[in-house]
Every structure is written in structure tokens, then in C-alpha cells.
Chains A and B, each alone.
Chain A
Amino acid sequence: MTKMMYRDAVLSTIMEEMARDPDVVVLGEDVVGGMGTAGGPEAIGGIWSTSTGLYDRFGPTRVIDTPISESAIIGAAAGLALSGKRPVAELMFADFIGVCLDQLWNQIAKFRYMFGGKTRCPAVIRMAYGAGFNAAAQHSQSVHQILTGMPGLKVVMPATPADVKGLLRTAIRDDDPVIFLEHKALYATSGEVPDDPDFMIPFGHARLTRAGGDVTIVSTGLLLGMCEAAADRLAAEGIGCDVIDLRTTSPLDEEAILDSVEVTGRLIVVDEAPPRCGLAADLRALVAEKAFSSLKAPPLQVTPPHTPIPFARELESAYLPSIDKIEDAVRRVLAWR
């Protein structure tokens, strides 16, 4: 095991996979940083420090710094993938899917099925998502809600450095397109990461991070930590929460959710995306259909309201889920009837 930051887990996994497989290529805006400047390539290696040193090691045919052209970046990732490469493309902010949605949705997601299974599109699209920096409505969004609903995409949301390592390696070696969502507020968090160069975490396997038995809380990414904190607080009062980290929203580990809810009879989904037509609504429908007889209370969701993300500190923190809001939801499901 090695202790490392979430962002270093991203970088080291890409580095290792590029060393292992010459078909892995990286592209994105400022992924080299400093191209065409006095400081030269790598003057600033990517704004999230998730590509530092790749260019120096693997050169310009495998590490491609692009102009500000998201449609061309994601389209080129599609073309690279159709032509036998394993592109790892970066969108600097997840919000920028708005610019290149066609390439993600009508192209990359559909090739394998639409072409009768005869092509594979092993593209990884990484993007930094999430609020908490007062970066306002166009630089803070959680986009898994949109992308998970698109048939053809696998969607990964790691919450820890170890999961970054295991899931990103799986993503790069996977033969289908994978959306890899990195929460901005997790980049500087640290954790133990296995050293095994083939350490992989299969998609569709959730992780039970707290076992309590009274209430099931399901989450992903940054909010998982808030769920755990709420669970720990409540445990002190003798209230036991199962906390489930989905890890991937597509494929979905239905079994892990249903197994837990069959015991607890109570589900709370905690999500950073808006409330309508999203992950939380989806999982609540799942238990309503498949665990109906176990339910002791209506499944609840803790999400932001149905508004764009506001700028001011007071507004953003009122907007976002919090430990208090999660705790309150747990008390509400327990108080039901």
C-alpha cells in the first residue's frame, strides 16, 4: 500500500497504463500546459495536476494538447478509439459536456450497438465535476444524472484514491466508452492505494462503507464522506446506518442496494445533482418496485433544489446537501408512522 492523493492516483494510473500499453493516448486542453510559450511544454502540467510529466515521458503523439475545442476533443477521442487506440480524453470541467454533447451522446455512446456489435469504442472521458468552490452555475455541476441516462456509456464516480486507481485502470482496459468523474473537492484528499500493478475494481460492484442495519444511505463521490460522517454521528445515539458507495452509476449494483434495504426497510439517496429525473429518483423507483414489501418508510432523497448552482458562499452551502440534512432525513425515515 502507498499513501497518495486522489489526483496522484489519477496521474499514476494513467502513467502506468501508458507505460504498459502503447495504444493509450491522452488528449485535452492544457494537459501539457505551456505549449507555444516561453516556459515551454509542461510549464504547467494540466490545471488539476493529473497529467504532469506525461508529455515529457511519452511525447507529442501520445500526449496531445488541444486548443479550446471540446467537440473536436471528444470527437477525436471517438476516432482514435475506433482506430485501435485507447484515448483518455480530459474535459477540464464536467460542465463543458454542454459543448460536445453530440460526440458523447450520438457518437461515442452508440457505436457498438448501432454498428451491430462490430466496433468497439474504448474511450475514457475524464472530467472534474462538483460544487463547493463557489465556482457558480457553469463550473460546479454534477453531470452523472445526464450521462447515466444515456445507453452505451459506463459512468464511474470514485470516492477514494484506491477506487480511483482500481476503477481508472478498469476504465482504460475496458473496451467500451467510460465516463470517469473526478470530484474537484476530492483531488487533494489522501488514502492508501494498493501497489499491485494490475489492481482493478470491476464496474457495478458497490462498496458497503458502514454497516448499521436501521437505514440504508446510498451515495457517490464527495457526498459519501458526508454520509459516513452523518452515520458516525447517529451511531453514537444507537442509530445504525448502512452506507453504500455505488462507485459506478452505470452499471448499477442493484443487488447491494436491495440487499441492504431488505434489512433496513429505509432508503435515503444522497446526490449532488438536481432532484428531478436523476440518480436519487431512479434508485427510489428501484426499491419501490423490487423491495416494496420490505419498506417501512418512503424512500427519501437528499439533493440540491431544482435550481442552477448559485455563487455566493451562503447560497452554495444552503444549496448543497450537508451532514445535517442527511441526519435530518435519517430521523425522518425512522420517525415514519
Chain B
Amino acid sequence: MQLSREALLNAYRAMKTIREFEERLHVEIQTGEIAGFTHLYCGQEAVAVGVCAHLGTQDRIVSTHRGHGHCLAKGCDVEGMMKEIWGSREGLCKGKGGSMHIADADKGMLGANGIVGAGAPIAVGAALASRADGPGPDGLNVAIAFSGDGACNQGTTFEAMNLAVVTQAPCIFVFENNHYSEHTGFSYAVGTAQDIASRAQAFGMKAWRADGTDFFAVHDTMREVLAHVRAGGGPVAVEFDTERFFGHFEGDPQRYRGPGELDRIRAERDCLKRFRAAVTAAGLLDHAEIDTLDTEVLDAIEAAVAAARAAARPTAEDVLADVYISY
């Protein structure tokens, strides 16, 4: 763990922000105030934060239907996101996109995506743009394709991996293996010997695997990965083993889970608990300062929800704004 105190505090704050953002949405969705389909990222925070901690604004990411964590970790505004999810015209996408389509290109966040498998080719394009721009002082800017274990079965993902290899695009395929695609288990849907990384290797790229519930494992892996890609080593894949704490979407009865599974993963595989235990045991941070961060984050989420509730609603005229052409 060669991280500064500041970096540790930032990482914890970022993970906790995602956690509380999602926990709060889980509650708010039950009131019926929030419309549409929402897929919560709870449980996977260490992946988004451990990956994005290494990125600058010029590095780009492409996300999935489960995108809130990636957006927050890449620097999207908490309040702007909350307003978007509430469907306000003050939201990051003016209420046009909602939970599944949050984007902020200025932050290098090229969009959550409702189409499983659509993201990886877009990330290759972003990586080819970086390749065309050439390296800066720290090497090449990179593009990250976040995909789930389910998305790794989509032809678009395969095509993207191959295109990245043949063009040596500075693209990083991050596979978040949370063991489920909707209600189907990873062991049924992915035909290779229980892993995605080896599949990526078969396309001719280096691949890594790490525990996605351990922030330090993610962070260390990504340090190596980024050194390789920024130096012009071509595309790579990383598979993170992780957990999703809620249903596939809000409202999912989750009858596919085993008895006690949710309690067990919350107890043993919670990246926030593991982070706190590791940094306090090593004497890097103490419980009191982490508790202070917890309070700060909760206050920020509370403020974002209040702002989203009070934010301006879109009007019928807004339907016709931002179209290429109308009739």
C-alpha cells in the first residue's frame, strides 16, 4: 500500500459516496418517487474507485446499465446525477437519460448504457482517438470499457477486443464479474473454464485477475495495467471478482440466490469494511477520521436528495430540445 493519507481518504470517500448514493436510492425507489429502471452498484465500489483513481480527465471510460459507481468515481457531480435520476431538467442529462444513461463527456465519462455489450466498441474508438493524439508526458491517455460478466458473451465485446488488439489501441477491458447476468449464473452463461480473463488472453492481449472487493488489490493491479497501456503496450483485460449487494434491478425478488448468500457477502465481501479494517490495522487511518468521512458523505447525499427533490421539472417544450432535426 504505497498510498498517501490523502489518497486513502479520497479512495474511502469515493467508495462511501457510491455506497450511500445507492443505499439511499434503494430506499427512495420504494416510495415511487423515482421513475424508470435502476440498477444499483452497491458491493462493487472498490472496482470503480480502484480503477478511476489512476485516471485523469483525458482518460475516458464507457459504462453499463449499472453505471452510477463508474460515473461517481470518474468525477460526475453527485447532485447533477441525483437530479438526473429524479428526472429534473437540472440533471446531468436534463432529465432525458435517467439512471441508465448518465454521461458527462467533460469528465471523460462517455455514458452509462442500456444495451449490454454496446460499450466496449465505443471504448475502442475512444482509445483510437488517444492513439491518434499520441502520448503526453505521462504516456498515452487510455479508454476503459467497463463490462459485466454477462456482457462478455456479447459479440460486440468480442469484436471490440479483437479490433483493439489488431490496432494496438490503448484500451482496457475491465470485466466486473459479479457472478450474475440478471437471473442467470456466471457458471451457466460463460463457457470458458470459470473465467473471463483467459478469454481475453485468447484474443492476444495481456490479462489480469484480482479480487474486486479488495480496494488495494484493484488499485495495485491497475497501477501495473496502466503502466503497460500508457507506455504503448496495447490493450489489456482485467477481470475483477466482485459482488452485487442488491437485485439485478430494483424490485428483483432474487430467488436465484442461495440461503444466506446476501448476508454472507455483506459480512465477508464488503469492500468498505475490508478497507477500514486494513487501514486501521496498519495504523494508516483511525476509526474516528473514517467516521468523520462517513458523516460528511451522508450529509452530502442528504443534500443531493433535497436538491433533486427541489429541482426544476422539465416541461413539454423540453421534449424538442437537443434533437438534430425536428418536424
A interface residues (Cβ-Cβ under 8 A, vs B): 29-30, 33-40, 43-44, 47, 65, 67-72, 95-96, 98-99, 133-139, 275-276, 305-308, 310-315, 318-319
Contact = CB atoms under 8 A, between A and B. Distances in A.
Contacts of B156: 99
A133 B35 CA distance: 7
Contacts of A139: 37, 100, 114
Q: Is the interface of B mostly helix, strand, loop or mixed?
A: loop
Given A37-B185, A95-B115, A134-B35, A44 B256 contact: yes
6 closest cross-chain pairs (CB), A and B? A36-B188, A36-B185, A38-B258, A312-B87, A311-B98, A134-B35
Contacts of B181: 67-68
Given A38-B256, A319-B319, A311 B97 contact: yes
A270 to B, nearest CB: 17
Contacts of A138: 100-101, 113-115
Given A71-B155, A307-B323, A314 B184 contact: no
B95 to A, nearest CB: 4
A139 B113 CA distance: 11
Contact of A37 (B151, B257, B318): B257
A305 B323 CA distance: 10
A311 B115 contact: no
Contacts of B89: 312
A51 B272 CA distance: 39
A305 B115 contact: no
A173 B95 CA distance: 44
Q: Which of B89, B114, B316 has the most CB of A within 10 A?
A: B114
Contacts of B315: 314, 318
Given A33-B184, A36-B188, A68-B151, A310 B261 contact: no
B36 A136 contact: yes
Contact of A65 (B98, B114, B188, B261): B188
Given A68-B150, A138-B100, A311 B258 contact: no
B265 interface: no
Nearest to B260: A38
Contacts of B100: 135-136, 138-139
A34 B114 contact: no
Contacts, number: 170
Interface string B165-204: 0000000000000001111111111100000000000000
Nearest to B313: A314
Contacts of A314: 87, 95, 313-316
Contacts of B316: 314-315, 318
B189 A35 contact: yes
B258 A39 contact: yes
A38 B257 contact: yes
A308 B188 CA distance: 35
Given A276-B327, A311-B95, A36 B182 contact: no
A39 B251 CA distance: 17
20 contacts: A29-B182, A33-B256, A34-B184, A35-B188, A36-B185, A38-B261, A39-B257, A67-B150, A68-B153, A99-B115, A133-B36, A136-B114, A137-B101, A276-B327, A306-B326, A311-B35, A312-B98, A314-B313, A314-B315, A318-B319
A39 B259 CA distance: 9
Q: Which of A29, A30, A40, A311 has the most CB of B within 10 A?
A: A311
A49 to B, nearest CB: 12
A65 B326 CA distance: 41
Q: Which of B117, B255, B258 has the most CB of A within 10 A?
A: B255
A43 B255 contact: yes
Contacts of A133: 35-37
A43 B186 CA distance: 15
A35 B35 contact: no
